[in-house]
Amino acid sequence: MAGFLRRYAVPSLTLALALGGGVWAFKTARKPAVPVYQTAVVERGRIVGKVTASGTVSALVTVLVGSQVSGRIQDIHVDFNSKVTKGEVLARLDARMFEASVEQARANRSAAEGSLERARVQSAIAVKQRDRLRELAKQKLIAEADLDTAEATAAAAAADVSAATGSLEQTKAALRQAQVNLGYATIVSPVDGIVISRSVDVGQTVAASLAAPTLFTIAEDLTRMQVDTNVAEADVGKLVQDMNVSFVVDAYPQETFRGKVRQVRNAPQTVQNVVTYDAVIDVDNRDAKLKPGMTANVTFVVAERADVVAVPNAALRFKPSPEVLTATGSVDPAASNAAPAAPSGPAGASAAPSGERKMRGDGQGTQGGARDEASEAPKNIKRRTAWVLRDGKLVSTAVVTGLSDGTKSEVVEGSLAAGDTVVIDATLPGSEANRTSGPPVGLGGTPPGGGGMRRGGI
Helix (H, G, I), strand (E, B) or coil at 364: coil
Q: What is the pLDDT of residue 14?
A: 63
pLDDT tens digits for range 195-244: 999 999 999 999 887 777 899 999 988 999 999 999 999 999 999 999 98
pLDDT tens digits for range 124-134: 999 999 998 88
Q: What is the pLDDT of residue 32?
A: 60
Q: What is the pLDDT of residue 347?
A: 35
pLDDT tens digits for range 385-413: 999 988 778 888 899 998 888 889 999 98
- Quote the CA–CA distance of 92 and 198 in Å, as a whole number: 14
Antiparallel, parallel or unpaired: β 252-271 and 366-367: unpaired
The whole-chain average pLDDT of the chain stands at 80
- Is the pTM here over 0.95, yes or no? no
pLDDT tens digits for range 263-293: 999 999 998 889 999 999 999 999 989 999 9
pLDDT at 430 over 80: no
User: What would the mean pLDDT of 118-122 be, rounded to a whole number?
Assistant: 94
pLDDT at 330 over 80: no
Please report which residue ranges of 139-263 form alpha helices under DSSP H. 144-184
Cα dihedral across residues 136, 137, 138, 139: positive or negative: positive
Please report which residue ranges of 271-409 form alpha helices under DSSP H. 313-317, 322-328, 372-375
Q: What is the pLDDT of residue 142?
A: 83
pLDDT over 70 for what percent of the chain?
75
pLDDT at 436 over 90: no
208 and 65 Cβ atoms separated by less than 8 Å: no
Helix (H, G, I), strand (E, B) or coil at 296: strand
Considering only residues 238 and 456, tell me which one the structure prediction assigns the higher pLDDT: 238
User: What would the mean pLDDT of 70-88 be, rounded to a whole number?
Assistant: 93
pLDDT tens digits for range 161-193: 999 999 999 999 999 999 999 999 999 999 999
Cα dihedral across residues 53, 59, 278, 268: positive or negative: negative
pLDDT at 378 over 50: no
Q: What is the pLDDT of residue 358?
A: 39
pLDDT over 90 for what percent of the chain?
51
Give the bridge partners for 284, in sequence order: 224
Question: Where does the pLDDT of residue 139 fall: very low under 50, low under 70, confident under 90, or very high at 90 and above?
Answer: confident
Q: What is the pLDDT of residue 458?
A: 33
Cα dihedral across residues 284, 289, 293, 299: positive or negative: negative
